[in-house]
Structure 1
Amino acid sequence: MTPPPLTPTPPAASVSDLVRLRAHRPEAVAEAAARRQRRPLIRTGGRLMIIAADHPARGALAVGDRALAMANRSELLERLCLALSRPGVDGVLASADILDDLLLLGALEDRVVIGSMNRGGLAGAAFELDDRFTGHRPADLARLGFDAGKLLLRIDHDDPGSLETLHTAARTIDAMAALRLPVFVEPFLCRRAGGRLRTDLGAAAVTTSIAIASGLAGTSAYTWLKVPVTEDPGDMARVMETSTLPAVLLGGDVGDDLDATYGKWRTALRLPTVQGLVVGRSLLYPADGDVAGAVDTAVSLL
């Protein structure tokens, strides 16, 4: 008999407890960060399985046809705590507010913590590609004892805002390297169509974006790549030959055909530079509601 889907379990504290703590003892966030049990970014012979939850800070709250699915913070924290408790999950990528909540909940012990750095390119905004660094600064990540940072690098050859993002991204990578902190760079070539920003997942575009991202800053010693699977997954082997930087796969929106998506991830994870998987909404808000089952399936691909 097939067991019923697992439902998210409540975090260790209620939202009212979090609000009370934030209001009366804001220093509790720094205290929780200071006593957090840390671990290596990647263990010997291991792979990375990271849960992404930095979408709300860019105003991207939709999951499928649910426009505000990620807007309920209590529900999001429940789902995150459940995902982080599953065997094989290494850590989380999120904005400061979410990571602060998770610190206060004690959910980040022995987990990799990656801070999301540029969230200024709000979803759907005219300035979306002038993607300012409105999130974690390198100094913040070092002060809190976090393990890495992540930046989004979207480039549209027809949008001057991309140049400022490109320049700022390079200097941020320099700053992270100076602190010996890894930084995950998520590059895309984009274009506007019908007033909306579209990412190009063709092999040539992904190859070009990897080449650009790999060459940023004065050193690539601490740079990782966060890359999508190409439209034709058969192109991934050739695409990933573009760089020797370690990479993780961007899960993205899995669509309706889960088996096909998992198959693409499984094939790409065999490539020598691919070191893991970063997936967010498709695991936290699966169509069947089974967060634990979705996470466990993704872990099994590693």
Structure 2
Amino acid sequence: MTPVSVADLVSIRSRHPEAVAEAAARRTRRPLLGDRGRLMIVAADHPARGSLAVGARTHAMANRLDLLERLCLALSRPGVDGVLATADILDDLLLLGALEGKVVMGSMNRGGLAGASFELDDRFTGHRPEDLSRLNFDAGKLLLRIDYDDPGSLATLHSAARAIDAMAARRLPVFVEPFICRRDADGALRNDLTPDAVTLSIAIASGLAGTSAYTWLKVPVTADPDDMARVMETSTLPAVLLGGETGGDQDGTYEKWRKALQLPTVQGLVAGRSLLYPGDGDVATAVDTAVGLL
């Protein structure tokens, strides 16, 4: 993996904090969709929501040096278009020079901390639209979880719609990741990945805000991937697949992605832990395999 010096990063951050903005200003940009017309984005916005686990490894993503080295390796592989992350991680990657010619996507709402009683209250505690514009970033992403039994979901819908409006006003694409979710008997929040639930979430997300011109969808592959064709008929908005964890079945996950990537509205893949922390530890091979699916 690409060696990263924490000491160097801390030195720059403590002595020259303006270096982040300077690196953002001189960064070489590219169109959201390149000549290939497909998107391969590596996601690393999990830690800011307190979600550090990968499978049975409860603190796999807690080591920032290790995460940055994995990200730099993934971004160096052919066919990887960019990264989705929160400000702290993107600032590090800017300082490392790892974002040259890449799509940079800021994660906007990280307030719904994993396992918290307020998990569904997904406040916009990350990048604001004005931050993404100021830093010359290329897109934003927001999480939209809706629980029909929680009246607070109405506030989440409202704040998401206004964020989409603000992004469209700046002509910045925003990737909306919608879920219908419920709390189980123990109070834990569960995303419903049945075809009917994913269909419903897509229909709701597609209609938010005063325009959908800059809205993309970020959708999970349903529990039964054979139903994805029907699910994706719900909207004409461009979509990317949400990678998610593999559950130990890396090959089966790749096959589900491959089938879904053939659908006309699906333009690419956003995957994080499954590629950065594969079961065999081989980040390069996991990333290259995912790129090959496109």
Q: Same fold (TM over 0.5)?
A: yes
Please state if 1:66 is matched with 2:57.
yes
Moved more, 122-131 or 156-165: 156-165
Q: Deviations over 1:11-51 (max 9, x none)?
A: 3xx10110010001100000000000000000244210000
The CA deviation string for residues 173-208 of structure 1, in whole angstroms up to 9 with x for no partner, is 000000000000000000000211000000100000
Letter aligned with residue 2 of structure 2: T
CA contact (8 A) 1:59 1:122 kept: yes
CA offset at residue 257 of structure 1?
A: 1.4
Give the counterpart letter for 1:79 in structure 2: R
In 2, are the aligned partners of 1:225 and 1:245 still within 8 Å (CA)? yes
Partner of 1:136: 127
Could you say what secondary structure the match of 1:180 adopts?
coil
Give 5+ residue unaligned stretches, structure 2. Answer: none
SS in structure 2 of the partner of residue 70 of structure 1:
helix
Q: Does 1:180 align with 2:171?
A: yes
1:3 is matched with: none
Q: Does 1:282 align with 2:274?
A: yes
What one-letter code is carried by the residue in structure 2 that aligns with 1:241? E
SS of the aligned residue for 1:172 comes to helix
Matched AA of 1:36: R
Cα deviations by residue, 1:226-277 (Å, 9 ceiling, x for unpaired): 0000011010000000000000000001111111111110000000000000
Tell me, yes or no, if structure 1 residue 249 matches structure 2 residue 241.
yes
Correspondences of 1:69-80 after superposition (within 5 Å): 69-80=60-71
2:92 to 77, 93, 101: 101
Are 1:34 and 2:25 counterparts? yes
Cα separation, 2, equivalents of 1:28 and 1:45:
33
Aligned mates of 1:284, 1:86 — CA distance in 2: 12
Q: Which residue of 2 aligns with 1:214?
A: 206
CA deviation string 1:68-121 (max 9, x = no partner): 100000000000000000000000000000000000000000000000000000
What letter matches 2:152 in structure 1?
A: G
- Whichever residue aligns with residue 9 of structure 2, its letter is L
Give the deviation of 1:161 after TM superposition: 2.2
Distance 1:159 1:216 in 2: 19
Residue matched to 1:10: 3
1:240 aligns to what?
Answer: 232
Q: Which residue of 2 aligns with 1:223?
A: 215
- In 2, the alpha carbon distance for the partners of 1:73 and 1:43 equals 30
- Contact 1:127 1:161 survives alignment (8 Å): no
Q: What is the identity, as a one-letter code, of the residue corresponding to 1:237?
A: A
Q: What's the secondary structure of 2:92's corresponding residue?
A: helix
Paired amino acid for 1:154: R
Q: TM-score, normalised by structure 2?
A: 0.99
User: For 1:64 and 1:260, how far apart are their aligned partners in 2?
Assistant: 16
Q: What residue identity is the alignment partner of 2:176?
A: V
Question: Counterpart in 1 of 2:263?
Answer: 271
Q: Which residue of structure 1 lines up, in the alignment, with residue 191 of structure 2?
A: 199
2:259 maps to amino acid:
T
Give, in angstroms, the shift of residue 291 of structure 1. 0.4
